[in-house]
Amino acid sequence: MDKHLYAAMQLPSDLDLRGFSELLVASGVEHRITIQGVEQVIWVGTDIEHDQLVSLFQQWQGQNRSPGVTPNNTAGLDMLWHRLRANATRFPLTISLLLFNLVAFPLGLAASDGEYSEMFQSMMLVAFEIRGDRIYFADLEYTLSSGQYWRLISPMLIHFGWLHITFNLLWIWEIGRRIEFLHGASVFILLTLFSGLMANMGQYWLAGVSLFGGMSGVLFGFIGYCMVWDTFSSARRFGIARPIYIGMLVFLGIGFSGVFDFLGLGKLANGAHLGGVIAGVMMGSLGLLLKLDVNRN
C-alpha cells in the first residue's frame, strides 16, 4: 500500500466496486481498494477531500453501475431493509446468536432485581434453590450426573443489565461475523461452543459456584482466535486493528488486578474471560497446525 494513501471509506464486501473504481479513474483520483475482514477499504490520496469522495460514490450509486447497488431514490427504510437482508444472508449464525441473547435477556434482567424464574435457574451453570434470603447451590458433579449438560453452555446467553448486553453483543457482531464469513459456519459454531464451555468452566474453577453469565467469554474466545490467525497466518486477515487486540488483553489483565472492584464498577467474570481467550488461542493454533482451508472468499 502506498504510504501517501489513506483509508477514506469502508464498504460491505458484497458490493461490486469496479464501476466506482472506473469513475474514480475517470475523475483523476488515485486510489486502491483492498479487502479487510468483511469490508472493502477505499484508499485515496490527500488531493481529494472526503466529501468529494462521498459525492462521487453517491453519483455512482445514482447511475446504478453495479449489480446489487441501491439507487439514490430508494427510501431510507428500503435501504435499511436491503442491508438487513444482505447481512442475514451473509452472517446468519452471528445474527442468530445475537437473537438468542436478546430473547434470553429478560431472564437476566429480572434476576438482577432478585426475580429468579425457573427458566433462569435452569440456565445457570449449576442447579440452585432459594431458601429465605439465601441461595443454596448444588455441586457441578450432581448437576451433570442428572444429565443437565446444557448448563455447561447456557450461561453465555444470560446478561444482567443493558450495558452488559450492549457491550458484548456489539463486539460479538463486529468480530463474530468476520469469523463466520472468512472461516465458515463449522468454525464459528465450534469456536462459540468451545469458548462458552471454557469460559464457564474457567469462571467455576477460579471463583467457585455463583450466578454469572454473558457472552464476554465467547468474545474473548473470538479475540484469541483472530489474534492467532492474524499473527501467524498469511491468509486473508480479519481486519481487526492491532490496538483492539492489545486493548482487550490489557482489559483482561486489569480485571485480575481488582481495579474494577475497587472503583465500585462491579465484579468481572475474570475466569470466564481467561477461559475464553485460552479456548480461542487453542482453536486458532489447532487450525493453523492442521492447515485449515480458510481461503473461502
By annotation, the residues acting in catalysis are: 216, 273
The C-alpha angle 243, 183, 89, rounded to 5 degrees, equals: 105
The CA–CA distances, whole Å, from 118 to 125, 127, 138, 156 equal: 14, 10, 15, 17
Spatial separation of the C-alpha atoms in residues 125 and 201, rounded to whole Å: 9
Q: Are 152 and 125 in contact (CB under 8 A)?
A: yes
Q: Are 33 and 42 in contact (CB under 8 A)?
A: yes
Closest CA to 62 of 11, 8, 20: 20
Spatial separation of the C-alpha atoms in residues 218 and 272, rounded to whole Å: 8
